[in-house]
Amino acid sequence: MTEAAPLPRNGGFDYLIVGAGFAGAVLAERLARDAGKRVLIVDRRPHIGGNAYDRYDDAGILIHPYGPHIFHTNSKDVFEYLSRFTAWRPYEHRVLASVDGQQLPIPINLDTVNGLYGLNLTAFEVESFFASVAEPVEQVRTSEDVVVSKVGRDLYQKFFRGYTRKQWGLDPSELDASVTARVPTRTNRDNRYFTDTYQAMPLHGYTRMFEAMLDHPNIKVMLNTDYREIVDLVPWGHMIYTGPVDAFFDHCHGKLPYRSLDFVHETHPVEQFQAVGTVNYPNDYGYTRISEFKHITGQRHPHTSVVYEYPRAEGDPYYPVPRPENAELYKKYEALTRTRTDVTFVGRLATYRYYNMDQVVAQALATYRRLQGDKAEATERQAVGAAGASA
């Protein structure tokens, strides 16, 4: 460990970190434990962990209040780093889609096609099937282009269009190709939602993992606090900001568009509610999916808790809306961040990008290295890219 630097501003904190999610917690841990810095981490919510926070509900079931968070990564570095703070429970997430009265695997695979159409294709034959139904697209620009060019119009209509319209409030033809490009199409029977090298859940939950990360005498945590309330009252040397970048600059260029979610939690007096961790509803109901936590956590309990997800236009910012005009708006805020040498902007909201949890960890670790004097930006790109190769 390096020696702690003299405290700035009459003995205050070396770093003020805004946000106690993955980005903020990783940087707080590294700066305190590895660099010997004094860190104050502030969050508006009454808990640490950001959207990954989990807790036991009234029935005693471990739930994720902000929807299911499934950890997966291809990055050995990220997995080994987090393993310092938690043991793991191996878990491979599986998702079914409710289509035409059946529950079929998603991402689309061999069993999806055979089950939907009453066929008995082999892995070799399903390739020819996809080729026969795919619609040629001269230049793939939109989310609709991505899907119809791979699996054709009917599978697009049944599995993607309705779900996307609910999730984003836009037709796939209006969204960037990146939205549906994240979901692969398989010719085998692999029904895992992710294929990453490391797939596991924190054995005792995310909150316990965050508690271990932040358990250091150099780290002080303030919850239920807007950083603006204390920014001029508490001495600090450098700020790390993980909140919405447009809010930091008082929305001077206008608000960056996000989609939000409402979560409706229910507990049922049965041991199991559904066959897998998540069931998607692309065409029916106002919700997009139902997730059952006991599949994900491995908890044994005579009752079970589930969550319904209802997409919303307003509310907490969850998903940046991937459209060209929004990317242009973000560039204006990105230019402003470069004028603030006293602030480092990290994480999903601060960079207006959708990152998986492991990508945020990779970005935070790379940011720490830069803050410690390593200016090689290629390191960050490589780390984030490796972490999210199969996002």
Instruction: Going residue by residue through the chain, which has 391 residues, state the pLDDT in tens, using 9 for 90 and above.
Output: 333 334 444 469 999 999 999 999 999 999 999 999 999 999 999 999 999 999 999 999 999 999 999 999 999 999 999 999 999 999 999 999 999 999 999 999 999 999 999 999 999 999 999 999 999 999 999 999 999 999 999 999 999 999 999 999 999 999 999 888 878 899 999 999 999 999 999 999 999 999 999 999 999 999 999 999 999 999 999 999 999 999 999 999 999 999 999 999 999 999 999 999 999 999 999 999 999 999 999 999 999 999 999 999 999 999 999 899 999 999 999 999 999 999 999 999 999 999 999 999 999 999 999 999 854 444 455 555 666 554 4
| Residue 330 shares a structural domain with residue 378 | yes
Q: Give the domain extent around 81.
A: 8-89+198-255+320-387
| Residue 172 shares a structural domain with residue 203 | no
| Residue 145 shares a structural domain with residue 203 | no
Helix (H, G, I), strand (E, B) or coil at 127: helix
Of 131, 149, 181, which closes a domain?
Answer: 181
Q: Are 14 and 31 in contact (CB under 8 A)?
A: yes
Domain-embedded: residue 105? yes
How do 39-42 and 219-222 pair as beta strands?
parallel
| Residue 101 shares a structural domain with residue 32 | no
Question: Measuring CA to CA, how many Å separate 336 from each of 112, 231, 240, 363, 371?
Answer: 47, 19, 15, 20, 19
| Residue 117 shares a structural domain with residue 80 | no
Closest CA to 357 of 1, 4, 51: 51
Q: How many domains does the chain have?
A: 2
| Residue 83 shares a structural domain with residue 100 | no
Domain-embedded: residue 189? no
Domain-embedded: residue 304? no
CATH code (residue 375): 3.40.50.720
* Model confidence, pTM: 0.91
Domain-embedded: residue 285? no
Domain-embedded: residue 312? no
Domain-embedded: residue 17? yes
